[in-house]
A = this chain, B = another copy of it.
Amino acid sequence: MTLNVSCSKRQSILKGATTLFLEQGFNAVSMDKIAQAAPVSKATLYKYFPSKSDLLATVISELCAVLLQTIEAVSMESESMENNLKKIAAGFVDLIFAEEALAIYRLVISECHAFPELALLVYNSGPQAALELLESYLEKINQHKRVNIPDTAFAADAFFSLLKGDLHFQCLLGAKAAPSVTQKNEHINKVVGFYMQGFLYAD
């Protein structure tokens, strides 16, 4: 019971801190605001997290765990290559244009000087994991006929880079709104078409 209460306070703090950090960034959020949002007193907040930096590290770590789960949940079995690529593309595009993912990226880019290990954690849990997934798929189908991918690392990189496009950077800058479902699908179709024409079916 006591443990449950403690845990719920801790969870409550983390939830509020996550929202605030992602919305406003690390510096703009004070420990007062986090305590107020939880809501707990500042003294209680410091009982659970010895410093603001520790709180940020915990927030990012938990977000990364979720990120990794999302990526690993993508499976592609027993379909055509085009459909598999489209499935991977849809998952990737949904993920990277999600407001929360953009906020995570902004946060770790902002703080990459002060907390380089957090940037690495996010990279490994997100883009790196996605690249590994795709590359292993490309290696698998590369042994089949009708497909010739001389450099699977480059190919995987190229696929995701095309999907990101300039729009992802604009979204990161807050210069443009995230694409609608229709826009995403149009873009995915263009990219997959271009990709398969350019890279695969080399025979």
Contact = CB atoms under 8 A, between A and B. Distances in A.
A36 B113 CA distance: 22
A195 interface: yes
A139 interface: no
Interface string A112-128: 11101001101100010
Tell me the number of copies of this protein.
2
Contact of A123 (B27, B119, B173): B173
A110 B169 CA distance: 13
Chain A facing B: main interface SS: helix
Q: How large is the interface on A (under 10, 10 to 19, 20 to 34, 35 or more residues)?
A: 35 or more
Contacts of A51: none
Contacts of A197: 198
Interface stretch (A5-13, A64-72, A73-81, A152-160): A152-160
A157 B165 CA distance: 6
Most chain B CB within 10 A, of A24, A109, A119, A164, is at A109
Given A158-B194, A190-B151, A198-B195, A109 B173 contact: yes
